[in-house]
Structure 1
């Protein structure tokens, strides 16, 4: 998984009742876009994230 500052991350809910979590990547702390990422989630919570298989990076569209 690779990401850039400013891109969005989506962490899928683990159960049917759990909503997805969405946030913006503020810092990329791994080499060449690798995790961990420091993320500000849409609810204002900030955390260091080591994304798993349940995570998706929404890469910025060029154009």
Structure 2
């Protein structure tokens, strides 16, 4: 299992870095002590979910095109959590 997949995910055997809209991209800091940053993946440029991604960063709210490096990982969320209507 690669480190970007969840244990019970049907895509758990899928190799490489990939994402779906709504997943979270986490990038490590460039230096020791730098916490890094994270953001929501808001758009994909390839149908198979491979990079690059459009990411809305949590610290700035800006959307940028990201080509993730080796220090990046994707936190996947179940499809039902992304597609469910908000509760009122």
**62 and 41 in structure 1: CA distance in 2 versus 1, 3 angstrom threshold:** same
Deviation readout 1:14-46 (Å, 9 max, x if unpaired): 111322101000001123001110000002121
Number of aligned residue pairs: 63
Name the larger-Rg structure: 2
RMSD: 1.5
TM-score normalised over the length of structure 2: 0.65
Q: Counting strand residues as a fraction of each chain, which structure ranks higher?
A: 1
Paired residues for 1:1-63 under 5 Å: 1-43=17-59, 44-61=61-78
What runs of 5+ residues in structure 2 fail to find an aligned partner? 1-16, 81-88
What runs of 5+ residues in structure 1 fail to find an aligned partner? none
> Which structure is higher in RCO with an 8 Å CA cutoff and minimum separation 6?
1
